[in-house]
Structure 1
Amino acid sequence: MTESFPDQVRLPGARRPVALVTGPTSGIGKAYATRLAALGYDLVLVARDEERLAALAHDLRVRFAARAETLPADLSRAADRDRVATRLAEGVEFLVNNAGFGMSGEFWTQDADALQHQLDVNVTAVVQLTRAALPPMLHAAKGTVVNVASVAGLISGRGSTYSASKAYVVSFSQGLAGGLAGTGVRVQALCPGFVRTEFHERAGIEMASLPRPLWLSVDEVVAGSLHDLEKDRVISVPGRQYKAIVAIAGLIPRTLVTRLNRGLFNARGRT
């Protein structure tokens, strides 16, 4: 059984700030939720799987004495996005927009509804939840929004709609950072490369041929994100290998970048 917060940022007498994390039941989201609990945050956990949400909430409470509110939601549904937005409007100090997914198969073979669901989770939810979280953060002159994008948002080619959705998140975060300058509220686009999570298995994407040095751990990603937040870096690219790849891609013609993607990341068969 998990505890619930009343209609305020913190419980009466509580000193822990509150963070809301979407997609926290595995991968980067789980690592971020765990790290924030260790840093002294209470959590609002948003995902579809109620059992895994409850298990994570229990784990965070036992390990870190963190209060954890679970909010089951499918962010591809407007009504569920509205429920999460309502909770954010009550006030949190840290928002991690982590939920997102890719798909296997070529774009022209995908069901139109599936493509729309991907857009709603990867883009619409990020925009709507960020919009809901900002007013209380600005009122308090304090807050952080981390939008989990991808290296695919900086170097297109890892799937058509997936790369496009992550490019939107990067551009959105960069533009928003300019408007938030001097307010006390930080925003970051977190752009990891390949990370050992359930992401590719769920998407049905075969990754066995990827060179071992290109893999990152979730802890490396979260540590890189938090480090870059302290440095006020809007774009966070964890891992030296990916920093180098992004830097090189910015110096060479786009046609060569496209060839690099085909050879290194093999975008065929993913959307």
Structure 2
Amino acid sequence: MLDYETYCKIRDCHDRQHLTITQTARALGLHPQTVSKWLKAARYAHRAQPPRASRLDPFKAQVVRWLDAHPYSAQQIFQRLREAGFDGGYTIVRDYVSKIRPPRREAFLKLAFAPGECAQVDWGEYGSIAVGSTRRRLSFFVMVLCYSRLMYLEFTVSQTMEHFLACHEHAFAAFGGCPAKIMVDNLKSAVLQRLIGQAPVFNPRYLDAARHWGFEIVACNVGKGNEYGVVKNMCRSLASEARAASSRKSNSTYYSATGCGGRTSGRAGRAIAFVLRQRLPLRMSPAPAPLFPD
């Protein structure tokens, strides 16, 4: 079998040096028929090797039946094959099992929400902003209605509890109502402790605010980002827009049907403009009284 380097030399002698087949064969020490064959080839390719018989061939159908019946490991399949008379090695069995069995993928429960049932909230960060003679970290608060993807965004220079609760209040006022549930990703403003297998310990101040506004706090499971993807995706896309938005005079933005720039809901492709025509706020609790009245 001719190697790739020799093939390149043949092409060079013929295409660049303009040698004949006989001259090329003499220069490279090859047979003229070999040179002629490779000059006719459009590109270099290894010779196709015919499939070789394997000791596992008589047992392959049985291996498929075993795997269809139960998710056996390659070692368990190998032990069963030995009992059935297979005299080959473990490696060939392992490679075949890996080839015919698709990789295991973690299953996720797809979450669905009714209008006004739930919203997700989170903090995002993007660089810093000049405040007087110093610079402060620029944060943004995001609340997204899970059904319609209607979003409220507010920029702040702090993530304190006062800012956290004030942003909730502003979002409810913008939406014209309060959802039944608020999902949080175990951020310290809402969850003080979250251990696997135990009930979350909520921040007492956030619990008081939830009772005042009439919503239930729902903490996502640890390490389950799929439960919190609505607002996380919004935060990632907003980070790229934060620099321009931070220069506006107003520090809060209510994303309406036109302000969302064509964002669509993941529920059957509903456009936000369509969802808003259903008057979602009417399915939510009325806008609550301010937590911090003037």
Q: Same fold (TM over 0.5)?
A: no
More helix by share: 1
More strand by share: 2
TM-score range, shorter chain: under 0.3
